[in-house]
Amino acid sequence: MRWLRYGTDAVLVECASLAEMSAVRAAVVAAGLPDLAEVVPGARTVLIAARPGTKALEQARELVDEADLATVHDGEPREITLDVRYDGEDIDLVAETAGISADDVVALHTGATYTVAFTGFAPGFGYLTGLPEPLRQSRLDTPRTRVPAGAVAIAGEFTGVYPRSSPGGWRLLGHTEAVLFDSHADRPALLAPGDRVRFRSRS
């Protein structure tokens, strides 16, 4: 783990793995330090930003140094199930790449439990880890100019759902009617770091 200076009021904690990153994020968030402005998980990093003139970065460092990073202490994780219609444009491509049938793709994708590791790209877009190995596939060579809202997709070690229509290069498996982001809701983002997610096939 490395602590990299990030401007005058933030640090970037560089971790060895996604699991270590998740543990660091959870340890810092669980402590609820009042002077932290932002805790932003990334694929291998946690960005910790403090209110200027406070000791929050030093407190965060002390916390992480003392934390047991072998396990993620996220309290009671929220469990979310998303109903998906597996009619995505790339499902045959994904099946072919994996050397299995389209039905096997659905069985693998619905059989796993995922964890929201971090967000980015757009409000409410969560990068979900836990994707079974045969589904870990590269992005499309040419990204689509428009991916519809609710599209359920995969890329590399992640699966995710596009909260709104946008360009995108992930392989599309299907779509969900769930609202991923509503800025007026009590919980604006359906998926937040640490949440557990399952997909359920609905025909």
Using CB under 8 A, which of the segments 2-10, 65-73, 84-92, 137-145 binds another protein?
2-10
186 binds another protein (CB under 8 A): no
Q: Which DSSP helix (H) or strand (E) runs through 61?
A: helix 56-66
- Contacting residue, 35, 80, 107, 123, with another protein by CB under 8 A: 123
183 binds another protein (CB under 8 A): yes
**How many whole angstroms separate alpha carbon 92 and alpha carbon 171?**
10
19 φ, ψ (degrees, to nearest 5): -65, -45
Q: CB 28: neighbour CB atoms within 10 A?
A: 23
49 binds another protein (CB under 8 A): yes
**How many whole angstroms separate alpha carbon 52 and alpha carbon 158?**
35
Report the residue number, 23 or 49, with the smaller CB distance to another protein.
49
- Contacting residue, 27, 152, 193, 195, with another protein by CB under 8 A: 193
The set of long-range contacts for 183-189, using a CB threshold of 8 Å and a minimum separation of 24, is 183/123, 188/123, 188/124, 189/119, 189/123, 189/124, 189/126
Burial label, 190 (beta-carbon count in 10 A; 0-12, 13-18, 19+)? buried
Using CB under 8 A, which of the segments 71-79, 85-93, 121-129, 147-155 binds another protein?
121-129
Q: How many binding residues for another protein (CB under 8 A)?
A: 37
CB of 161 to another protein, least distance (A): 12
Segment 60-99, which members bind another protein (CB under 8 A)? none
> Under the rule (CB under 8 A), what is the footprint of another protein?
4-10, 12, 37-47, 49, 52, 118-125, 127, 181, 183-184, 188-189, 192-193
